[in-house]
Structure 1
Amino acid sequence: MNKPDYEASPAMFRNQPLGFIAAVLLIPVFGVGILILLYWYIKARSVRLTIAGDSIHLSRGILSKEQTDIDIREIRTVLIRQSFWQRIFNVGQVEVFTTGDMPEFSLQGMPDPNFVRDYIRGRINREDEER
């Protein structure tokens, strides 16, 4: 199997640095911070976005799984939303649209979101040139 061009889960610290610091500071308070960080870690690792070649694979869940596969040729729009702090830490929300007004999926806190958009745009443009 070939190495994916992009494979990531939502970032914890880079996505919400103040929340992460607050959780760390709450560790001495009856271990509340550890519970928060553990829940946050499991939630972040239960989502995985993989892009390889002309397909996007999204996997969500730990015990029960929800998996979505999208052919890049079916994608109409990729929307990236980034706050000022998210731009500094190079994370953001990625929304992928195929048809209709609702996104096929929306992922918050993804590392290097502009790479995702540029990669998809490049593959679509390559397909158009080959036709």
Structure 2
Amino acid sequence: MKEKVDSDLEPVEGENILYEAHPSMFRNQPLWFVILVLLSLIGFAFPFLPFETSYLTKFLEIAIPMVIGLIAFLAWWLKCKATTLTVTSERTSCRRGILSKSITEVWHQDVRNVQLDQSLLQRILDVGTIGISSAAQSGLEISVSGVPHPEKVKALIDTYRRRD
């Protein structure tokens, strides 16, 4: 087990990382994933298409959806890679951002509510939304959608928040 959570967080003595993951793209939104991949790959069909209109018109008809698909896919990928949910033996933290940074953490001793939301498809694909609140806030302090193995995350948090 790793001994350090993040270079920006001070590790507590004896603190171990139990779970660390980025939101899943395909398992969280499979339909959008397939649509964006197909839009991104549509340009590879360009040489095989018959040209009834001008070459430039056909190129623009293919290039515009392809560029839109690539930009949307890359933006989504960056958003997923920029979000990290970490559960240690002492706390749960959510780190967001690549250039800028936002870290929210909740100590397990302060956790009052752990929410797990899954649609039918998400249950089949084993992803979901985890929400964590503490006594200090009226709403959710940490909420991450697309978390792989959300029941494992909830069980880990429940186990360590009851440990006293």
- In the superposition, the TM-score normalised over structure 1's length comes to 0.90
Identify which of 76, 85, 88 aligns with 1:52. Answer: 88
Q: How far apart in 1 are the matches of 2:22 and 2:72?
A: 18
| Cα distance per residue 1:63-100 (max 9 Å; x no partner) | 11011222100000100000000001110010001024
Q: In structure 1, what is the equivalent of residue 159 of structure 2?
A: 122
Aligned to 2:139: 102
Q: Which moved more, 1:11-20 or 1:92-101?
A: 92-101
* Equivalent residue pairs, number: 127
Whether the aligned pair in 1 keeps the contact of 2:114 and 2:133 (CA below 8 Å) is: yes
Does residue 15 in structure 1 map to residue 24 in structure 2? no
Distance 2:106 2:162 in 1: 17
Shift of 1:58: 1.3
- 5+ residue gaps in structure 2? 4-15, 43-61
Show the counterpart of 2:100.
64
CA distance in 2, matches of 1:59, 1:124: 21
Q: Please state whether the residue corresponding to 2:140 is helix, strand or coil.
A: coil
Distance 2:108 2:18 in 1: 13
CA displacement 1:39-73 (0-9 Å, x = unmatched): 11001111111111111121111111011222100
Say which one has the larger Rg: 2
User: Structure 2: how far apart are the matches of 1:125 and 1:12?
Assistant: 32
Percent of residue pairs identical: 35
- Code of the residue aligned with 2:100 in structure 1: it is S
The list of structure 1 runs, each at least 4 consecutive aligned residues, that deviate by more than 4 angstroms after superposition, is none
Q: 1:35 aligns with which of 68, 71, 74?
A: 71
User: What is the TM-score normalised by the length of structure 2?
Assistant: 0.73
Contact 2:91 2:108 in 1 (8 A): yes
